Amino acid sequence: MQISSVPLDLTASSIDLTRQLCDIESVSGDERTLADAIESALAELPHLEVIRDGDAIVARTNLGRGRRALIAGHIDTVPLNDNLPTRFEEHDGIRYLWGRGTVDMKAGVAVQLKLAAELTDPSVDVTWMWYDHEEVNAELNGLGRLARNRPDLFVGDFGILGEPSNGVVEGGCNGNLRVEVRTYGLRAHSARGWVGDNAIHKAAPILDILAGYQAREVEVDGLVYKEGLNAVGISGGVAGNIIPDECMVHINYRFAPSRSSQEAIVHMHELFGDYEITVVDRADGARPGLDAPLAQEFVAAVGGVAKPKYGWTDVARFSAMGIPAVNYGPGDPLKAHADDERVDVEQIIAVEEGLRAWLTGSGAR
């Protein structure tokens, strides 16, 4: 159900624009109304070329600058849970905007839309991208579809993704690998278990390996990425009186961007080589690329400090196309997808000021 159909006002404050965006429901697969609103608002701006692909909207300047930045954000959210319409709250003296999408990531999109509308003469050419289907399976991702359909739009020197980062720069991202490790046995009646072979019991060494695993901390381009290897699920069993003949441990490996997904798979075989291993999902990480000139200028303009991104984000799509990219957006990632999702409104203002300073060449704050 759509909460609001009011046209977007890109002259509003970035806080009010965040409310406008959030109050238009856009759960993954239902982004059309919001995409229409964004396209309609941008169509009125003569300094932008507007392009649409499905429910992804691209707006770019063509000023003939020597360098181009790609700045992106997704417009979909996870499902609602009685957390729209938005409202303001105050906790411990901090003013928050509460509601689905405020953190992940419509506050970041609001900042981007406002600057896209206002900055008619940025110091670099900018390709703004707002895309659909980020919160679901990777094959549906609107940024990936856009890259396949219009690779010409991905020509640039530096990328910024507005994922929530508490208003600080987070460079690159860890890679992500999910595997299933299986054990096999022999079914038997549990009253005579000695004639069977219990596959669940055979999983104990797998769990011991995971419990004793010492995750690496890896420095990549000056940032230290923390890895993680964890069981995220386990299944097995047939009935309450049958010795199970199969057990599966679902394992998630978050690996530093110095390692490819293929190398991560090799590492799983090093750890669990005696067991059957099935890869169910894999995604390479992204090096931070902070040695790129535009990246250095950006970090200086927004505060001079960069941190690593431990989760996987779409910056990896930019990195795979040879574009160094960082995450930079308002909101605490710990509140993403939460029922009490809420963003500190001062972070919205700070991210707007940081991006504005960089795009206008006004220097560090």
Q: Considering the candidates 23, 39, 76, 104, report the single residue annotated as catalytic.
A: 76
Cis status of the peptide bond prior to 122, with omega within 30 of 0:
no
With CA atoms as reference, report the closest residue to 143 among 45, 71, 68: 71
Q: Apex CA 252: angle with CA 246 and CA 258, to 5°?
A: 140
* Active-site annotation holds for 341: no
* Active-site annotation holds for 134: yes
**CA count, 13 A, side-chain hemisphere, 97:** 28
With CA atoms as reference, report the closest residue to 39 among 129, 119, 124: 129
Q: Which helix (H) or strand (E) holds 128?
A: strand 125-131
Q: Considering the candidates 23, 132, 134, 314, report the single residue annotated as catalytic.
A: 134
The DSSP 8-state label assigned to residue 165 in this structure reads: -
CB-based contacts of 165: which residues, under 8 Å, 6+ apart? Answer: 307, 309, 327, 328, 329, 331, 333
Residues with a catalytic annotation lie at 76, 134
